[in-house]
Structure 1
Amino acid sequence: MDDYPVHQIAEPIRHVATSDRNFYDRYYFNCHPRLATGGEPLMLIIGLGQYPNLGVTDAFAVLRRGDDHLVVRSSRALGADRSNTCVGPLRVEVIEGLKILRVVLEASPDNPALSFDLTFTAGVPATLETRHFMRDLERVTFNTQRFVQAGTWNGSITVDGERIEVTDRDWAGNRDRSWGVRPVGEAEPPGRRGDPEIVKEHCFFWIYAVMQFDEFVIVTIVQEDHDGTRVIEDATRVWRDPDRAPERLGRPEHDIVFHPGGREAAAAVLTFHAPKKGGGMEETLRVHCTPTLPNYIGVGTGYGLEEDWRHGMWQGHEVVQQQRQPVSEIEDWKKLFCPVDNLSRFEIHQDGRTLVGEGLFEFAVIGTYPRYGFHSIGDVAP
């Protein structure tokens, strides 16, 4: 890559502009059969990240199918070649930038149950999201940029020797690329951040939705503190017609219905408000969200629940592991502290029409969030 005129700082490409240990650069993909096909619902999520200041690269694939939660994860030393996007049996290939990517997981003795060879084809242009920026006691803890893209998949997935054909007509999903600073790797000493008064008010309220409809894709982001203060928000409609520019939908608001005994979303309404010309706000769009299949992306994949495997954590020069358990046996505490990537159905009722879509509704409310009755970190919905 150093042979291309793409440098941003006076360093080789493999060196980033900050020495912050938490700098990362990641791929994310999800893949699922279209809900309209009426087939068995499943959701495959794939991630691959590089951590230049930790000298590590790692990857995972997590499949939710029925009661099966199947994870393959791999890690190795990063090395000097940032264009090497292979981590053990899992690799990402950029066939045509911002349009076509191939993701492969090869079967091996370390992961005998799951393999795939899948090609993603973009259905809309890549869309740059609002920058994610946070300070925590004056330290920058988040400073990331991301673009997102919805599309279709073709290829095959093999589970326990059963080959599942994947076609662009019947399979969809989205992918993103993100990079910058966010907490990764081993936990650091908390210092003042460990003060009970600070911990008591900590909250991570998060919605990230990528909704595919026939004519457009809606991308929504909401992160709030315990008192509802917005950390980041975004709401953009990306039209499939290449001659139509992306449309900002205004401020997104949420109304969540929870499953009893936990913090998982049973249903949600997202309402978008744009400024009126004469002042005030008006409702421009309302989307009803119905989660149909939750994928517990945080369990076994490195997002922080397990002490022995976190993104960017040094595992050895090359390590590959497979983990498998019934979803019904995942511990309640893990579900409580785990963002959930829900395969979901979306409906818009507008101008006498009902538009039906599908896609990702990623949701988490971790910590105290009084609006929905979570006054302590362990509270659950009645």
Structure 2
Amino acid sequence: MDDYPVHQISEVVRHVGTSDRNFYDRYYFNCAPRFDGQGQSGVDGPFALIIGLGQYPNLGVADAFAVLRRGDDHLVVRASKALGEDRMDTSVGPFRLEVIEGLRRLRVVLEASPDNPDLSFDLTFTADSPAHLEARHFDRSLERVTFDTQRFVQSGTWSGSVTVEQVRTPVEDHQWSGNRDRSWGVRPVGEPEPPGRRADPAETERSCFFWIYAVLRFSEFVIITILQEDADGARIVEDAVRLWRDPERAPETLALPEHTLRFAPGGREVTHAELVFQRRDPSGGLADPLRVECTPAVACYIGVGTGYGLEQDWRHGMWQGPLTVQQLRRAVPEIAPWERMLCPVDNLVRCTLSEDGGIEEGEGLFECAVIGTYPRYGFHGLGDVAE
């Protein structure tokens, strides 16, 4: 890449523009059968596959994971390696990623090996909507920048195959869909840092991570929503847009997205969500709002075993040695309530859109986390649960 005129700073490409240890550069994908009248097409029981691959230049690490929810089986394969000098080497042990056509087609592969005998796949993602560059995500904690990230997101279809315990399942474009994103910048990664003042009860009492990330697919368009709020409901980041599959139609900004959530008693898992978007009419006045109701059908606990922070011995960007590959399995009913509460849940949802008197059915991703204090929904402390 250093032979191309792509440099952004007076350094070679492998050196990023900040010395912050938390700089990262990551891929995310989700893949699942579409819903039909009986459930998910072509599979028995809940099925969702989520894949991630990241590089951490200032930590000298690259890692990858895949987590499969199949019935009550939570199956994770994860790998970590020393990051080399070639940033275009997007392989980590049995994982590899190929950009076939930028912003259009990508291939992700997990090869079976003695370390991960139960899950492998060879999948190609083909975009069916334009890539959307989201609002920049920026936040500070005690004057330190904790988030300064950029991301684009895109919906699409999948083809190839997934093999679980030597049973191969074909994946075909007309039956399998999902979304992918690319994000990079600064966010907490690697080994835990000393908390210092952040451990003071006065600082933790109002600690909150409220997060909604939704990519909802309909016949002619995709609605994308991202929200993060503090404990008082103030927006740290918000973005909402309707992307039309017809490339001749301009994206439509959906202003002031509002949420109403219901939770399962005894925890914080969402059982129903309503998103309401304000819109402008051609004269600039307020038009009737657009409403989307979402009902989760498949929950994938993306934080369990994958590196998002629950396990202190395996976090994204943590040094695991020159190459380490691991497989682990959990029974979904045995995932503890505290684990479910302290990580985002990637829900595959059925959704209903109401607009101008009409109704349309859709489906997609509704990722949600309500961690810490969030009084609006009755959570006044870290351990509070829905009644």
Q: Partner residue of 1:93?
A: 98
Deviation of residue 193 (structure 1)?
Answer: 1.4
Aligned partner (choices 257, 260, 272) of residue 262 of structure 2 = 257
Letter in 2 for 1:12: V
Of residues 34, 45, 48, the one that matches 1:43 is 48
Amino acid at match of 1:66: G
Which secondary structure state, in structure 2, belongs to the residue aligned with residue 362 of structure 1?
A: strand
Looking at structure 2, the residues matched to 148 and 350 of structure 1 have their Cα atoms a distance apart, in angstroms, of 24
**Correspondence for 1:10:** 10
User: Is 1:229 matched up with 2:234?
Assistant: yes
Deviates more, 1:277-286 or 1:65-74: 277-286
Q: Does 1:171 align with 2:176?
A: yes
Amino acid at match of 1:303: Y
Alpha-carbon distance in structure 2 between the residues aligned to 1:301 and 1:91: 17
Amino acid at match of 1:13: V
Residue in structure 2 matching 1:144, options 143, 149, 160: 149
Gaps of 5+ in 2: none
2:289–2:355 Cα contact (<8 Å) kept: no
The runs of 4+ residues in structure 1 deviating greater than 6 Å are 276-280
Matching of residues 25-64 of structure 1 within 5 Å:
25-36=25-36, 38-40=41-43, 41-64=46-69
Distance 1:379 1:279 in 2: 43
SS in 2 for 1:197: helix
- Residues 1-382 of structure 1 mapped to structure 2, 5 A cutoff: 1-36=1-36, 38-40=41-43, 41-274=46-279, 283-382=288-387
Mapped contact 2:41–2:175 kept (Cα < 8 A): no
* Distance (whole Å) between structure 1 residues aligned to residue 319 and residue 343 of structure 2: 22
Greater displacement, 261-270 / 279-288: 279-288
What SS does the corresponding residue of 1:112 show, helix, strand or coil? Answer: coil
Using the TM superposition, give the Cα deviation of residue 353 of structure 1 relative to its aligned residue in structure 2, in angstroms: 2.7
Read off the aligned partner of 1:212 and give its amino acid letter: R
Deviation at 1:313, TM superposition (A): 0.2
Output the amino acid matched with 2:338: W
| C-alpha deviation, 1:3, in angstroms | 1.1
State the TM-score, normalizing by the size of structure 2.
0.97
Per the alignment, do residues 200 and 277 of structure 1 end up closer, same or farther by CA in structure 2, a change over 3 Å counting? farther
Alpha-carbon distance in 2 for matches of 1:282, 1:208: 24
The worse-fitting range, judged by mean Cα deviation, of 3-12 and 16-25 is 3-12
Once residues 294 and 124 of structure 1 are traced to their aligned partners in structure 2, the CA distance between those partners, rounded to angstroms, is: 25
Superposition RMSD on alpha carbons, in Å? Answer: 1.3
Letter in 2 for 1:309: W
266-275 or 141-150: which moved more? Answer: 266-275
Distance of 2:190 and 2:89 partners within structure 1:
21
In 2, are the aligned partners of 1:274 and 1:284 still within 8 Å (CA)? yes
The secondary structure found in structure 1 opposite 2:97 is: strand
Structure 1 letter corresponding to 2:274: V
What are the Cα deviations for residues 118-159 of structure 1, in whole angstroms up to 9, with x where unaligned? 000000111100000001111111000000000000000000
| Farther-moved stretch of structure 1 (237-246 vs 281-290) | 281-290
Q: Residue type matched to 1:173 in 2?
A: G
Letter in 2 for 1:359: G
Q: Which amino acid aligns with 1:31?
A: C
Paired residue type of 1:35: F
CA distance in 2, matches of 1:259, 1:111: 34
Give the share of equivalent positions with the same residue, in percent: 69
Report the TM-score, using the length of structure 1 for normalisation: 0.98
Q: Which runs of 5+ in 1 are unaligned?
A: none
- 1:276 and 1:211 map into 2 onto residues whose CA distance is 23
The answer to whether the 8 A contact 1:89-1:106 is kept is yes
Whether the 8 Å CA contact 2:288–2:356 is kept in 1: the answer is no
SS in 2 for 1:71: strand
Distance 1:143 1:121 in 2: 29
State whether residues 249 and 284 of structure 1, in contact with CA within 8 Å, keep that contact through their aligned partners in structure 2.
no
Contact 1:276-1:282 within 8 A present in 2 as well: yes
Distance in 2 (alpha carbons) for counterparts of 1:367 and 1:125: 35
151-160 vs 183-192, which moves further: 183-192
Q: Secondary structure at the match of 1:226?
A: coil
Quote the offset at 1:79 in angstroms: 1.0
Give yes or no for contact 1:271–1:283 (8 Å, CA) kept in 2. no
What's the secondary structure of 1:184's corresponding residue? coil
Q: Give, as a single letter, the amino acid of the residue that structure 2 aligns with 1:8.
A: Q
